[in-house]
Structure 1
Amino acid sequence: MARQSLKGWALLGLVTLAGPAWGQAYQIEDIEIEGLERITAGTALSYLPVEVGDTFDDSQTPEVIRELFRTGFFDDVELARRGDVLVVIVSERPAINEIRFSGNNDIPDEALEEALESVGLRSGRVFNRTLLERIENEIREQYFARGRYNVRIDVDIVDLARNRVDVDIDITEGPQAKIRGVNLVGNQAFDDGDLKGDFESGVPRWWQFFSSRDDYSREKLSGDLETLRSHYLDSGFLEFDVDSTQVTLSPNREDLFITINVDEGEPYTLTGTSLAGDFVIPEEELESLIEVDLGAPFSRSQVTESAERMAERLEREGYAFANVNPVPDVDEDNREVTVTFFVDPGPRVYVRRINISGNENTQESVYRRELRQMESSWYNGALIERSRIRLQRLPFVASANVETRRVPGSDDEVDLDISVTERQSGALSIGAGYSQNQGLLLSGSISQDNFLGTGNRFSTEISTSDVNRVFRMDLTNPHYTPAGASRGFSVFYREVDAEAANISRYSTDRYGFNVTYGIPLSEVDRVRIRPGFEHIEVNTVDHTGGRTGTPEEIRDELDEFGDTANLVKLETSYIHDTRDSTTFASEGRRHRIGMELAIPGSDREFYKLTYSGEELFRLSERFSFSVSGGIGYGDGFGSDELPFFERFFAGGIQSVRGYEANRLGDLRPLRNGQPATRDSNDDPYGGRLRTTVSGELFFPAPFAADNDAIRMSTFVDAGNVFNEPGDFDVGELRAAAGLALTWFSPVGPLSFSVAEPLNDEPGDDTQSFQFQLGAGF
């Protein structure tokens, strides 16, 4: 037998003849392939450029070997002849069994695996040793993009049985290069500070101790260049361009200096706008949606936002694929711009079908009842977005996405594909904490926001502190009626130690139940009605060990009305809420008007009226300002009085910061030489009227600017309680100013404030530092 062998591409075309029989042409009677382990003979034969019955001679050898090498399956290929049988002898490349990473902290395994797959390397594929250098280069590029220029990569190939290998990649990431300076060259119209103020890349301010602003990444720099471009295009510089960007690395590869060269061009003025195209809604209405400043520098964002408003308006009429294209007409001589908005509504479409996926634990009807876009109706972009938001606000939904899909073969129909990602809807928690007002807190609760997949909420709570001992059980159906009205049931038991809460010396035991109905008036307005029953028992404190007991005012009231009371209550409230979030809201408003009645027939008959409101204004992406206030007033019916255990109190971290919890009150002698809001023991007795007001500027914490779970604020609080409306005096309002921090930590919310009273009087109980902590385990 004569054999011809080619060792790799470097030997292609070289033929060694072994006897005259090899050089003679012959008709292939059969083809045999030797050396296969994982690849089937059929697969290998499919790549051969010859087949049984063909005439073969040595001139075809390079082509056969070349085609087999092109498959990437083989390290070596040899051809031989046995009579009229063509023998192909191969040596397979090993298969990758597993790719393992070690030492990578900055980039997760999944991201590195994705990068290697782009160069043809992943588990199960054939391993080509020529890829080793590409493997190292690809991973190095990933780290260079993150500013880690001292990265070291070691690749180890471990041979396994059955012609397999493991690829072990050990990474020493090294320190991340830090940005030491960002320089702008060529800017004349704007100062460096104005342009770099919104950059994510740069040198942190002196007070940003934990900022990642000086961490370099290509993606972050690209975003900063787009921010720079937007700044100029919104200021009329249509010809603005970034000429070049240089990133200079220090010799130790740990310091970076970024230089951005810009060409500003000349500013242009926007002098006019016009509409063109197909007006399926009145042209005047579309024109009203164009909000640009004529005679001012051209602003790309104003033009883009105007086009988006028109497209959204068309979507509300069913034009799902409407396009409004603003085209500028530039007068270079006079440096003026006019913009024509070309309106292409496209076909008006219906929503044929709405498909919901991802609801593994929830009945589909629970999601469908939240939808505002209906099937077989006109497509409405605003209703679709509102539907998505309603779904995403459900406590058992982590995210909701909506995709619009054309119906094949139809120009006027679309399907909506809604995918939801569900989160765990039940929780068992045991908690502990401490607050200055309530002391040691212990709590345990079981809650299920999606009971048996129905969307109903069930919860039970047991908690104890120096002030309260509470047991509560609630069950709520948020969609008791098809119109979205809710109904909930609640039973409770609560012990309150008033003395531990910094007020008069007595305690109460309360138990009862109520039923709550919530009636939606609109997407942002709701009315709640809560009838219920409550039993109250008041416990007095005796004079012992030199300590005074329950004051005479309370004892006299108990002598008149008894130390127990059965109350039939009716609570109603109206809530208007447009805030963008229920935690760290940055814009919107929330107003609540409430009334609580102990209706005639109760042992004590009284009413309480309350109002609270907050207006939030977004000042920038990270700054917002809040103005909030509240007022409460209560009194008895007929000859009855507002019970002492229902009076209003103020002061503390949740009321007027800078003053001790519940200790505020009008200190003027309005009753027998005694302040009406103090009892005969000189303890806070509360009042029938409470007023509070606050102004607060919210901003990211300087030491954790990138942490969305932490927010700081500077505030001014004011408020007080008065015995009667006629006692109200603006001069008696107590005020304080300070700083506050709130952190929604993994174990619960933590709140801190430092405040300085501004107009405290002798007898006021002030407290500059206040906090409330919680923890779970």
Structure 2
Amino acid sequence: MVGARAFSERELLKEFVLRTPGWLTWYTKHDRYSREKLSADLENLRSFYQNRGYLDFSIESTQVSISPDRRDIYITVNFTEGEKYSVSKVELTGNLIAPRPELEKLVQLKPGDVFSRAKLTATTKAIADRLGNEGYAFANANAIPEVDKDKRSVAFNIAVDPGRRVYVRRIDVAGNAKTRDEVIRREMRQLEGAYYDASKIQLSRRRIDRTQYFSEVNVETLPVEGSPDQVDVVYTVKERPTGALLFGIGFSSVEKLAISTSLTQSNVFGTGKFLAFNINSGTVNKVYSLSYLDPYYTVNGVSQGFDVYKRTTNASSLSVGPYATNALGGGIKFGYPVSEVSRIDLGVNFETVNLTVFDTSPLSYLNFVSQFGNHYRYGATTLGWSRDTRDSLITTRSGSFMRASTELAGGDLQYARLGYQHQVYIPLSRDLTLLAGGELGIAGGIGGKPLPFFKNFFAGGPGTVRGYRSFSLGPQDTLGNAVGGNRKATASLELLFPMPGAAQDPSLRLAWFVDGGNVFAQSFAFNDLRYSTGLAFFWSSPFGPLRLSYAQPLNPQSTDHIQKLQFTFGTGF
């Protein structure tokens, strides 16, 4: 890096995907030279400077040389930083169409701010998109700079040209060889014959993408020849395999070794319907299940599906009071979209359970079997509301997820369970994301019957409070085994950031976290909360997701079961 004065070479190199060999380059391949990577890195370097006020930054030359043995490449970048500029004024001119105060709120650069190309680009795009929502498909917002080199300041005149208001004549779909047109069109919110609306067109693209039937979804607006007030909208999709026959092996600190097999088709015959058969054999859980879901059982988006399953659970290897259950059940479920981001789910499930207790089981377990037997038939109704505004289901950077649920059971078992889950993702910078989440639960018996102990809440381990053995927190029997509780409260704060040396690879992420929570027998007791902190590693590998965490309990008690290193690898957990 020749010409760097304001920033260190080490800081500038963080903007490059290309790098010298390191401990992860065997996986990322970022130490392998390519002209395309270098061009992208130089553009990243230019953006880095111009986003920090260096309006006149320029790259003078780039030299690429090869070592005599032709095994190494040396790259030299010569550039001029220029002076740092601040913004003196931003003014909107032209035919604004929308109210001026509304457009001024979209301006991200304010007088006195350090110049940022990213904020200027975001401003002009937001203004053009806002006019696009009113039907002006070809609106343009052009930022004209007025540079004062003596004062090192720059003023911008953003000239707004809305163009002509247009209608959508036709919406076409291309690239769907298997998926039926209706499966794609039912996700669209822009209508043919209506005014062009950029927000609805982009919302339609996101909804098509979230079906997960396609690896790529692109949209373009084409003018209609001879009709300046009309456009055609074309969605081009690239279909991905939606059926899979998988054989997997998974490991975790809970299940130890689990073997799973699944036959899944999420787009049966191109209809958008989901069908899956799963077999999962682990130390604790053995599951056989068949699931079906029609996401558009009705034209207005009501979903309908069913589940049939056989599940065997043996808790003897966990830090809980030993017991085993053998359950056979099934149910139907419906979902109703309340809005674009929220929905209500309703389900009815029927289950037959055979319960086995042992000589070493807690006295409360033995008393329950003595009073109510060990064979139960019951039905349960579930009702849930959820709202999901996350920008991605894989590598989330912004948005939130919340869900409230209730379960009401009657028959041989009579109980009620209420739960609430909330997660918020806050982007702190390009690389840092703050995740704050929590979960509350309360349960109890009804009709004069107690809450079945195997319907208790448990905490500890991945997903609740890391650093403590899975399901080990809360009330214990005389042997030190956890028996669960009818109250649950857990929370977590995580700072997500990329893996050093692989910042451009979203499949690798690290997190520093603080967890807290517990389960309780009768009422919440804040003095009984357990806390931990540590580091977590996430890898979306080709063989399944890997999650590894090392946690240090902050206030462990003598009766707690500590497990600092915890992991899961593979699918089916």
Same topology, TM > 0.5: yes
* Counterpart Cα distance in 2 of 1:334 and 1:756: 53
Corresponding residue number in structure 1 for 2:275:
458
Question: Counterpart of 2:212?
Answer: 395
Of 311, 316, 320, the residue aligned with 1:494 is 311
Alignment partner, residue 532 of structure 2? 736
1:222 aligns with 2:222: no
- Residue 180 of structure 2 aligns with an amino acid whose one-letter code is Q
**1:106-185, aligned counterparts within 5 Å?**
183-185=1-3
Residue matched to 1:766 = 562
Q: In 2, Cα distance between the equivalents of 1:333 and 1:713?
A: 46
Equivalent pair of 2:323/2:355 in contact (CA under 8 Å): yes
Show CA shifts across 1:78-137 (max 9, x none): xxxxxxxxxxxxxxxxxxxxxxxxxxxxxxxxxxxxxxxxxxxxxxxxxxxxxxxxxxxx
Pairs within 5 Å for 1:122-521: 183-185=1-3, 187-203=4-20, 212=29, 214-247=31-64, 249-521=66-338
Larger radius of gyration: 1
Shift of 1:379: 0.9
Match of 1:178 in 2: none
- The equivalent of 2:543 in structure 1 is 747
Conserved? CA contact 2:480–2:559, under 8 Å: no
Return closer, same or farther for 1:399/1:267 CA change in 2, 3 Å cut-off.
Answer: closer
Could you tell me whether the CA contact under 8 Å between 2:260 and 2:571 is conserved in 1? no
CA distance in 1, matches of 2:12, 2:371: 73
* CA-CA distance at 1:512 after TM superposition: 1.9
* Aligned residue in 1 for 2:380: 569
Which of 553, 556, 570 in structure 1 is aligned with 2:367?
556
Q: Which residue of 2 aligns with 1:118?
A: none
Tell me which amino acid in the other structure corresponds to 2:550: V
Pair 1:714–1:209, CA change in 2 (3 A)? farther
- The match for 1:652 is 461
Give, as a single letter, the amino acid of the residue that structure 2 aligns with 1:618: P
CA distance in 1, matches of 2:252, 2:67: 51
| 1:650, distance to aligned residue in structure 2 (A) | 1.0
Q: Secondary structure at the match of 1:649?
A: coil
Distance 1:688 1:276 in 2: 63
Is the Cα contact below 8 Å between 2:167 and 2:229 reproduced in 1? yes
Q: What is the CA deviation profile of residues 617-661 of structure 1, one whole-angstrom value per residue up to 9, with x for unaligned ones?
A: 223333322111111111112532211110011112232221111
Aligned partners of 2:249 and 2:259 also within 8 Å? yes
Question: Which stretch shifts more, 237-246 or 584-593?
Answer: 237-246
Alpha-carbon deviation of 1:190?
A: 3.9
Match of residue 594, structure 1, among 405, 409, 417:
405
Distance 1:622 1:413 in 2: 41
- Normalised by the length of structure 1, the TM-score is 0.70
Secondary structure, aligned partner of 1:309: helix
Corresponding position: 1:635 with 2:444: yes
Q: Percent identity?
A: 40
Matches within 5 A, 1:567-716: 567-599=378-410, 602-665=411-474, 677-702=475-500, 704-716=502-514
Letter in 2 for 1:684: A
Structure 1 position 444, deviation (Å): 2.2
Residue 738 of structure 1 deviates from its aligned partner by 2.1
What is the identity, as a one-letter code, of the residue corresponding to 1:714? W
Give 2:265's aligned amino acid.
Q
Distance change in 2, residues 1:282/1:773 (3 Å): closer
Taking structure 1 as reference, are residues 362 and 734 closer, same or farther at Cα in structure 2, changes over 3 Å only? Answer: same
CA contact (8 A) 1:208 1:705 kept: no
Q: Structure 2 vs 1, CA of residues 258 and 432 (structure 1 numbering), >3 Å: closer, same or farther?
A: closer
Which amino acid letter does the alignment assign opposite residue 379 of structure 2? Answer: V
Q: 1:232 is paired with a residue of what secondary structure?
A: helix
Question: Whole-Å Cα distance in 2 between the matches of residues 515 and 775 of structure 1?
Answer: 25
Q: Does the CA contact (< 8 Å) of 1:211 and 1:705 recur in 2?
A: no
Aligned residue identity for 2:430: E
Alignment size in residue pairs? 572
1:50-86 Cα shifts (integer Å, max 9, x gaps): xxxxxxxxxxxxxxxxxxxxxxxxxxxxxxxxxxxxx
After TM superposition, give the deviation of residue 206 of structure 1 in Å.
Answer: 8.0
How far, CA to CA, are the matches of 1:245 and 1:534 in structure 2?
69
CA contact (8 A) 1:434 1:774 kept: yes
Q: Given that residues 184 and 192 in structure 1 are in contact (C-alpha distance below 8 angstroms), is that contact kept between their aligned partners in structure 2? A: no
Partners in 1 of 2:372 and 2:68 — Cα distance?
A: 86
Q: Distance in 1 between matches of 2:281 and 2:13?
A: 52
Residue 249 of structure 1: CA displacement? 4.8
Q: Distance in 1 between matches of 2:8 and 2:241?
A: 51
* 2:521 counterpart residue number: 723
Secondary structure of 2:2 counterpart? strand
CA pair 224-609 structure 1, distance change in 2 beyond 3 A: same
Amino acid across the alignment from 1:238: L
For residue 256 of structure 1, report the CA deviation from its aligned partner: 4.5
One-letter identity of the residue aligned with 2:557: E
Letter in 1 for 2:532: A
Instruction: Compute the displacement of 1:313 (Å).
Output: 0.3
8 Å CA contact 1:470–1:495 kept in 2: the answer is yes
Once the two structures are overlaid, the 10-residue window that deviates more, 404-413 or 294-303, is: 294-303
8 A contact 1:275–1:343 mirrored in 2? yes
Do the aligned partners of 2:135 and 2:165 also contact (CA within 8 Å) in 1?
yes
Deviations 1:386-416 (A, max 9, x none): 1111112223222222121111110011111
1:293-346 Cα offsets, whole Å, 9 max, x none, are 202333332222111110000111111111111111223444432211111111
Separation in 1, partners of 2:34, 2:115: 32
Change (3 A) 1:682 1:419: same
Question: CA separation in 1, counterparts of 2:87 and 2:527?
Answer: 53
RMSD over equivalenced CA pairs, Å: 2.4
Contact 2:342 2:387 (C-alpha < 8 Å) held by counterparts? yes
- Post-superposition shift, 1:259? 3.8
Q: Structure 1's 562 and 255: CA in aligned 2 closer, same or farther, altered over 3 A?
A: closer
Contact 1:651/1:662 (<8 A) preserved:
yes
Q: CA separation in 2, counterparts of 1:459 and 1:639?
A: 39
